[in-house]
Structure 1
Amino acid sequence: MSLYAIGDLHFSTENPKPMNIFGDNWDNHEEKIITNWREVVGDEDTVLVLGDTSWAMNLQEAKADLDIVKALPGKKIFIKGNHDYWWASLSKVNAMYQDDDMNFIQNGYFTYGDYAICGSRGWLCPNEVKFDENDMKIYKREVMRLEMSIQAAVNAGHQNLIAITHYPPTNDELEESEFTKLYEKYGVKKVIYGHLHGKESFDMGLKGIRNGIEYILASSDYLDFKLVKVLD
């Protein structure tokens, strides 16, 4: 049994949207992801899907993309990304997928062995380039939602915590944020996120160990469209 992660699948079955505007490495990226997933993931494994799963604008359109993921091996745990417009209602998503293989985090958590998987979408962190009053409102709301998820796990007695978000936990200068403070407050073991695309953006993502917490960037193009193993 192993735990894997990947973000930014950007599937677009119903309304094809080429991703190679971000580079030729995105050519046939869906096939690359699916092939690697089948090669490394077993039925007893779990995959963390870190947002921007589908370009669909509504749940019915997204079903074709979600069904592709459902058909792949392993249990899946999803969080919402900034482009997941189809994820308007958790109750409707859960009603469409009423089984243990498809799980969607919103204020709650799921377990993997001795670990609790907590998460939220996250948001841009305060910076000098692009951050306004509306960003601050969303930022504070996402910090609150993430803490609700973590507290739910802690209140249930879980001590080994993994946090997943779509957005990075810091700004482009890798400065402390309310997210990193939250992780340190609760002693989170690992933080896994996506969202960043292209080499310049990759350099703006916090990676490795900081203050006892491991930060893992898992956007699909950063991983060369392969899943990263988080735990055995």
Structure 2
Amino acid sequence: MKIFAIGDLHFDHKNEKPMNIFGDNWINHEGKIIKNWENIVSKEDLVLVPGDISWATKLEDAKADLLKIDELPGIKILGKGNHDYWWATSNKLDMLGMKTIKFLKNNSYEYKDVIVCGTRGWDSMEEHSIEYSNEKIFLREINRFKISLKQCNYSKKHKIAMLHFPPFSNDGEPNEFFSLMKDYEINTCIYGHLHGEDGHKNIREGIIDDISVYCVSSDYIDFKLKRIM
């Protein structure tokens, strides 16, 4: 089994949200992702997708994009991004009847030698200290992360945390989400969210406090799935 990751698919079956505002490399980005996916992923492999999956705003509209992902090779675990406005309750997501997709929401998933937990995340607390609504979201995401982490606390499997937002503040310092990963002995962390030259300059990767950290925003990895294990 191989494990791959790619975030920020930004699929759009209605072609209403062109992504080339971030650069010409985004032209036909969906086709690039699908072609690479089909070339390197087998049905037994695990693919982690940390958010910003579809531009749809309603679940019924997102279904077409989700079905496209469902038909691709591999077992997929999807997390929520800040643009996934279609994201719904666990029951509604399960009722879609996807065959190869699992939705990460206040839970965790075990697959062979790994266990995957995570949440969307949010910007660091100090960046929203005056804006109560954003602070409220931050604290809610912290709590959701704790719920997910506790489910894999005693597992001896390789622990992967999947976030949409980077677990770092704007100055590159680890934030509260990173501290929780240390507390729960996470082995690997993946995140996305950062696009274009302005976003990519804020990326931190490598082994940080014994955690292997990868940014898997699709444009950062040239729309090719990143093998993380």
Question: Matched residues in 1 for 2:128 and 2:222: separation?
Answer: 28
2:8 counterpart letter in structure 1: D
Q: How many residues align structurally?
A: 229
Q: Deviations over 1:68-101 (max 9, x none)?
A: 11111001100001111111222111111253x1
CA distance in 2, matches of 1:166, 1:103: 16
Deviates most, 87-96 or 51-60: 87-96
After the TM superposition, which residues 119-158 of structure 1 pair with which residues of structure 2 at under 5 Å, given as runs?
Answer: 119-128=118-127, 132-154=131-153, 157-158=155-156
Alignment gaps of 5+ in structure 1:
none
Identity of aligned residues (%): 45
Aligned to 1:225: 223
Find the counterpart in structure 1 of residue 62 from structure 2. Answer: 62
Deviations 1:197-218 (A, max 9, x none): 0122112122111111111000
**Closer, same or farther in 2 for the Cα pair 1:198/1:137, shift >3 Å?**
same
Q: Quick one: structure 1 residues 125 and 131, their matched pair in 2 at CA, closer, same or farther if it must change by over 3 Å?
A: farther
Aligned residues: CA RMSD = 1.6
Maintained 8 Å contact 1:5/1:48? yes
Cross-structure match for 2:106: 107
1:56 partner letter: A
Tell me by how many angstroms 1:114 deviates.
2.2
In structure 2, what is the Cα distance between the partners aligned to 1:118 and 1:46? 14
Unpaired segments ≥5 residues, structure 2:
none
Deviation at 1:129, TM superposition (A): 8.3
Map Cα deviations across residues 92-129 of structure 1 (whole Å, 9 max, x no partner).
Answer: 11111253x11001111111322210010101113458
**Aligned partner (choices 192, 195, 198) of residue 196 of structure 2:** 198
TM-score computed with the length of structure 1 as normaliser? 0.94
1:30 aligns with 2:27: no
**2:173 corresponding residue in structure 1:** 175
- What letter is aligned with 2:174? E
Give the aligned residue type for 2:171: E
User: 1:24: Cα distance to partner?
Assistant: 0.5
* Structure-2 change in CA distance of 1:152 and 1:128 (3 Å): closer
